[in-house]
């Protein structure tokens, strides 16, 4: 699986925008970029995903570099509830068979939100 690189931790002030970076220089043409987050003592939660174009949903925006070797998850106004570990995951769009569907989690970025 192609690997992603994220900072170990980031801090943000409440009500400020947050940009969480992810590098994936070995991404293949069919890999989708997925973001999940995990709040303390909870299971992971889907945030957003994209392939080439920037994406927006009610939770966040995903900005994908033109060469697709990096992406940025954008939280427009951080709240205390956004404090979590954010995972950037590549997921193959072409499946080779059973075993291709699981998510491969790295260490993620621990986001702290300061009131």
Cβ–Cβ under 8 Å, residues 89 and 36: yes
Q: Which residue has the tokens 């992603």?
A: 4
Q: Which stretch binds another protein (CB under 8 A): 7-15, 22-30, 36-44, 73-81?
A: 36-44
- Contact between 30 and another protein by CB under 8 A: the answer reads no
Kindly tell me which residue out of 19, 69, 107, 114 binds another protein, with binding defined by CB under 8 A: 107
**Nearest approach, Cβ of 87 to another protein (angstroms)?**
7
- Contact between 8 and another protein by CB under 8 A: the answer reads no
Q: Which of residues 62-101 bind another protein (CB under 8 A)?
A: 87, 95, 98-99, 101
Binding site for another protein (CB under 8 A): 32, 34, 42-46, 49, 87, 95, 98-99, 101-108
């Amino acid at each position: 699986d192609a690997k992603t690189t994220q900072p170990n931790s980031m801090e943000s002030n409440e009500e400020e925008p947050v940009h969480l970076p992810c590098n994936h220089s070995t991404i293949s043409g069919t890999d989708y970029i997925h973001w999940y987050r995990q709040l303390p003592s909870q299971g992971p939660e889907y945030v957003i995903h994209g392939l080439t174009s920037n994406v927006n949903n009610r939770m966040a925006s995903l900005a994908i570099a033109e060469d697709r070797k990096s992406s940025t998850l954008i939280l427009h106004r951080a709240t205390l509830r956004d404090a979590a570990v954010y995972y950037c995951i590549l997921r193959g769009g072409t499946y080779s068979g059973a075993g291709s569907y699981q998510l491969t989690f790295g260490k993620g970025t621990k986001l702290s939100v300061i009131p």
